[in-house]
Structure 1
Amino acid sequence: MSTSTKFHYTQTSMFSDLNADIVESVLGEVWLETQLQLQSFASLPEAELLEKFRLAFGDRFEEQAALNIIEDWRNHNWEGLSPIEFVDNTQFRGAFSRETNTIYFSEKLVRDTVLQFETVEDINSDNQYIQAFVAVWLEEIGHSVEAQLNEEEIAGDEGRILAAVVIGESYTRDQLKQWQQEEDQNEIIINNQTINAEFSVVEDDLYGLLTGPVARWGNVNTIGGVNSVETTPVSISGSSELPLVITYSFMTTVPNYYDIDGDSVNVDGNLATLLQPFSEDTTKFIVDALKLYSDIANIQFQEVDETANGGEGGTLNFGYAFLTDQMGMSDAAGLAYTPSSLLEFPYSPNFDKKIGDIWIDRNETNFS
């Protein structure tokens, strides 16, 4: 790596069937976002940074060595980051090996991300696949930093912990304990050779949270993330678990990711017409309903404007319109987009942006 903010990509036969401009732009966006995350993290107070490093890397490292790494990140100096290599391997999405001092990304990780975009103009850092790739990169950077700080591998998944504290992900004491006890090192095959490596496995919770049909549910800007309400990851000495923060919003206009024909909105399987803002009374019913969940679960709901998150609103986004069934089923009082709905509407345009949207029929007057 270098001090340059541009990711230099040379087309390889592995991705020769993909659009080279999109591949380069995707990798460039991932690299840029990774830099921004590290720079933002490095701007924290020194004492707080060292505490977070101890969470991930134990307390045997030299503080000055850690501060030197952090100073490099703060000054946009990426010379200390391990080089990367793309490999055809289904064992992992990302991996780091002390033996080669190299970060490896799987072909599938790159392909899954690149295939989300039809043009270069579509690529943006808010996309959940971009965010997931960044999370994997940060995890592997965590593994490589641990190799710089500790001569011997310490117990636990230090890369996963570093990714969590850099991104600003909320977690509980039990989750932290699990990560600190996990064994993420194993043998992997690279270029027909077996080497020891630490890696991010396919079923890892961080990647699973951020990819697939989950849209805003995985966005660090909405659920307990660094740009949401102010939350601080729990420390080892903490005694309580942080609440899961879920944002919500109310539509006053139709979001631009829906197909609109006149005054009709294509809400898969239905037509929504004559959208109108919720009244003060109906808004109160919804807020009271959310409170019922907060009363019995460790969840905190926070209202945001419908323009938040690039125009996608909150994690939950409520719309109020006349719903007309188009599928021969009985009329519904409301409908909602959930991740599992992708199985029913696999070709729905912009489906990832709709997840979390909840439509209520204006004919439904009984909110109690």
Structure 2
Amino acid sequence: MAKITNQGLNSALHQLWVFSLSGDFWQVLDTAFGTEYNRENAQILRLQWQKGDFSQLPQIEIVDSGILGDGNGAYSSSENRIYLSSKLIEKGTLGLVSKVLIEEIGHYVDAYINTVDSPGDEGAIFAALVLGEVLSPNVLAELRNENDGVWLEVNGQNLEVEYNNPTVSLSLTSPSTVTEDGPQNLFYVFSRTGDVTN
């Protein structure tokens, strides 16, 4: 269990280091967290990450999968802690563990550079963009409208967390309305976030 966690963390930190050196750094932050964030704090993080210094990141705790339900991970800003599901660690791939960690680190970044939580699932947006995924306008809109805040009981405490919960959605792309009777071809975009193999 510790091996996959360490490998996943090392992979996530490597991705964040690469991201901190990229020319897209500010564009990714603007897309994930809006444009009203504290740029000085963001620059501090960037410089630390460029040096390979990740000491400011939240502690990681592995919790029983029953606590997170279908979720893979969560971030509590009040505790400044990332929670990973034991099921994710036992059955998840290295890539999935790394992506969930980057998403939860994204929630930490939002709390560090913004005074209020960014709308939607900014952690998922951050993780996707850091990993080089292209988010269609429809998927970006869905993530911005997603409510990823939940209350969990962890170690006897009720905590408000931002939650990584796999979702699957279908979006009608063309035509946007059907006005005639009879057969018609409809085109859908299938999108997913998180581990949807369960």
- Fold similarity call, TM over 0.5: yes
Say whether the 8 Å CA contact 2:120–2:148 is kept in structure 1. yes
Letter in 2 for 1:142: G
Determine the C-alpha separation between the residues in 2 that align with 1:105 and 1:178: 24
Deviations 1:303-350 (A, max 9, x none): xxxxxxxxxxxxxxxxxxxxxxxxxxxxxxxxxxxxxxxxxxxxxxxx
Identify the residue that residue 81 of structure 1 maps to in structure 2. Answer: 57
The superposition leaves residues 6-35 of structure 1 with CA deviations (integer Å, 9 ceiling, x where unpaired) of: xxxxxxxxxxxxxxxxx2222221111111
Residue in structure 1 matched with residue 136 of structure 2 by the alignment:
172
Structure 1 residues 189-236: Cα deviation after superposition (integer angstroms, max 9, x where no partner): 111321100010144633236x67xxxxxxxxxxxxxxxxxxxxxxxx
CA separation in 1, counterparts of 2:166 and 2:85?
11
- Unaligned ranges ≥5, structure 2: 169-191
Cα 1:202–1:180 shift into 2, 3 Å: closer
State the aligned residue count.
172
1:107 to 86, 108, 115: 86
Residues 1:143 and 2:107 are matched in the alignment: yes
Cα distance between partner residues in 2 of 1:178 and 1:203? 11
- Could you report, residue by residue, the CA deviation over 1:161-215 in whole angstroms, capped at 9, with x for unpaired residues? 1001110012201111111121111111111321100010144633236x67xxx
- Return the alpha-carbon distance in structure 1 between the equivalents of residues 136 and 119 of structure 2: 19
How far 1:49 sits from its partner (Å)?
1.2
Matching of residue 98 in structure 1 with residue 77 in structure 2: yes
Matches of 1:90 and 1:24, distance apart in 2: 19
Contact 1:90–1:108 under 8 Å retained in 2 = no
Shift of 1:151: 1.7
Which residue type is aligned with residue 22 of structure 2? L
**Which is greater in Rg?**
1
Q: 5 Å matches for 1:1-16?
A: none
Among 151, 158, 162, the residue aligned to 1:198 = 162
Residues 1:33 and 2:11 are matched in the alignment? yes
**Mapping of 1:20-59 within 5 angstroms?**
23-45=1-23, 48-59=24-35
The DSSP-based 3-state class of the residue aligned with 2:193 is helix
Letter in 2 for 1:26: I
1:196 and 1:24 map into 2 onto residues whose CA distance is 26
Higher relative contact order (CA 8 A, sep 6+): 2
Aligned Cα root-mean-square deviation (Å) = 1.6
Deviation at 1:38, TM superposition (A): 0.7
| Structure with greater helix percent | 2
TM-score (norm 2): 0.81
Q: Percent identity at matched positions? A: 28
Q: SS where residue 161 of structure 2 aligns?
A: strand
Structure 1 length normalisation: TM-score?
0.45
Counterpart position of 1:62? 38
Runs (4+) of structure 1 exceeding 6 A deviation are none
